[in-house]
Amino acid sequence: MLHGGKGSGESTPRLPACKSAQVIIGVLGGTGPAGQAVAVQFAGIGIEVVVGSRALERAEEIVGSLKERWSGRDLPLVPGANETAAAADLVVVATPWEGVLATVAPLADTLAGKIVVSMANALTRWGTEMVPLMPPTGSVTVAVARALPASRVVGAFHHLPAGPGGDLEHPMDADVMVCSDDRAARQEVAALIDRLPGLRGVESGALGSALAIEALTPALLEVNRRYKTHAAIRLTGLPERDS
């Protein structure tokens, strides 16, 4: 997993990968607010990120605007179709929850053996209130794991607010709860998140934890509505990391 990505087969020029990390990250649905936030976070620490979209033109447009917004940083962002993003070493699914299964299922072969990070939350507004929705699998992350039985599915980034997450000038102040049935994959993703400014990856159990982690997002949105803020969570009582 730690060695360079497969060729994308696209004409988009490959940017030099950061020497401290050969991993290339692909973001499916990388043009939406959540996907853009994840993409700039990783690109901001020098990791090459393929911003994937159903429409390559859309990916090119978004990568252009992100590079323009952060023009002083030379972000290693590359546009691509979702199929290209899926060919990266580690893949984040940032599609809105309704589209997650339709997005990942046709890519199962490409995603086999890889860490696939699910970050979607099934939620809706019911009356005036943001509420979680319960998919038949209990969580979107478990649905992804069932759709990709040969992948190493990890839940993470569910609580990342898109606006602050996309703002590289103001590091966030948040823990990212990471869950997976694959302990090594969970550790790897948590360690990767530890490298992002202001974020800490917290290993939070197996995929059974995904229900709670996903459902917490609408509760945090209710906190935001009440206090007119972007709330995030921190876990207290954890030991200091060995960095």
C-alpha span between 229 and 226 (Å, rounded) = 8
Provide the token pair at 23: 């991993």
Q: Would you say 68 or 240 has its CB closer to a second copy?
A: 240
Among positions 160-189, residues that touch a second copy (CB under 8 A) are 173-174, 177, 179
| DSSP-based three-state secondary structure for 98 | helix
Report the nearest approach of a second copy to the CB of residue 242 (Å). Answer: 13
Interacting span for a second copy (CB under 8 A) from 3-11, 76-84, 85-93, 230-238: 230-238
Computed on alpha carbons and rounded to an integer, the radius of gyration of the chain in Å comes to 17
Contact criterion met (CB below 8 Å) for 210 and 139: yes
Q: Would you say 6 or 183 has its CB closer to a second copy?
A: 183
Going by C-alpha positions, the residue among 108, 113, 110, 117 that lies closest to residue 41 is 117
229 interacts with a second copy by CB under 8 A: yes
Contact criterion met (CB below 8 Å) for 151 and 92: no
Site size toward a second copy, by CB under 8 A = 45
Q: Would you say 71 or 227 has its CB closer to a second copy?
A: 227
The residues that touch a second copy, with contacts defined as CB under 8 A, are 126, 129-132, 134, 138, 173-174, 177, 179, 202-206, 208-209, 211-213, 215-223, 225-239
